[in-house]
Amino acid sequence: MDAIDLNADVGEERGDDAALFGVVTSANVAAGGHAGGGSVLDETIRLASGAGVGIGAHPSYADRAGFGRVSQAHTHDVAAITTLVREQVLVVASACADHGVRLSHVKAHGALYHDVAGDDRLAAAFLAGVAQAAADMGSSGLPVMGMPASALEHVSRRSGVPYLAEAFADRAYQADGSLVPRDREGAVLHDPEVVVERALRIAVESRVVSVDGSVVDVPAVTLCLHGDTPGAVELARRIRDHLEAHGVTIAPFGAPS
């Protein structure tokens, strides 16, 4: 039987996180770099833990004005990337500890997500930050979530880091498997019927149709459901209901040992 995890980026003060926690099985919590932090972070983890949702850290460039969507790779050397990742992961881990739950994974946000997906050097720096945070927590390691067949996946596999390949039902894909940049028309899909059917194809076939009509392999174990657009929660529910109606099991990928 097919199975998939459903994840959402939360704690960003842009959507109804409480409602999403009734749909998803894992959550990526903003650490304050692009949004959230402080009391928002604490409340988000309280709600997520109460709903039994797995909690991950969602580090980003320090860019609240741009919501973390502007690359700062040109102003950050590898040491700076490692430091910002370590610090933000530890912020979320500390809040998790306050609520008696464990951090389950790490997923980069926005521009950082795409930067580490496309550059081995930045991917290694990101993984070093995750590893340092895990060591500070007394953990043997943390799984990392990101795009399939990316630099981050390749470096993770070589380093023995558990990797959680992720797909998006509401984003347009290019023929090389990358996402169409958000500043291009059609980058975000809004037709619920299209999004729901894409979600099912991802879960069952691990494939999507790209903008040029070619079929792209997306061997994902988790599907991201965005919660920051109008009607997002209802769409997320429709996706989950549609997947389950077609025999797909919705289940978390599991926390690290």
Which tens digit of pLDDT belongs to each residue from 55-104?
A: 999 999 999 999 999 999 999 999 999 999 999 999 999 999 999 999 99
Q: Is 23 helix (H, G, I), strand (E, B) or coil?
A: coil
pLDDT at 201: 97
Q: 246 phi and psi, to 5 degrees?
A: -100, 20
Q: Does the pTM exceed 0.75?
A: yes
DSSP 74: G
CA distance 213 to 215: 7
pLDDT > 90 in the chain, percent: 91
**Cβ-based burial of 248 (10 A; exposed 0-12, middle 13-18, buried ≥19):** buried
**What are the tens digits of pLDDT across the range 135-165?**
999 998 999 999 999 999 999 999 999 999 9
Q: Which neighbouring-strand residues pair with 146? A: 165
Q: Is 123 helix (H, G, I), strand (E, B) or coil?
A: helix
Q: Decide: 138 and 97 in contact? Cβ < 8 Å.
A: no
Where does 3-250 sit in CATH, by number?
Answer: 3.20.20.370
Average pLDDT of the residues in 119-144 = 97
Sequence-distant (≥ 6) Cβ neighbours of residue 245 within 8 angstroms? none
CA distance 163 to 106: 10
pLDDT at 228: 78
Q: Decide: 195 and 231 in contact? Cβ < 8 Å.
A: no
Residue 257 has pLDDT above 70, yes or no: no
Q: Decide: 5 and 253 in contact? Cβ < 8 Å.
A: yes
Kindly provide the residue ranges of all beta strands, DSSP E only, lying in 31-160, ordered along the sequence: 54-58, 103-107, 144-146
Q: Decide: 154 and 225 in contact? Cβ < 8 Å.
A: no
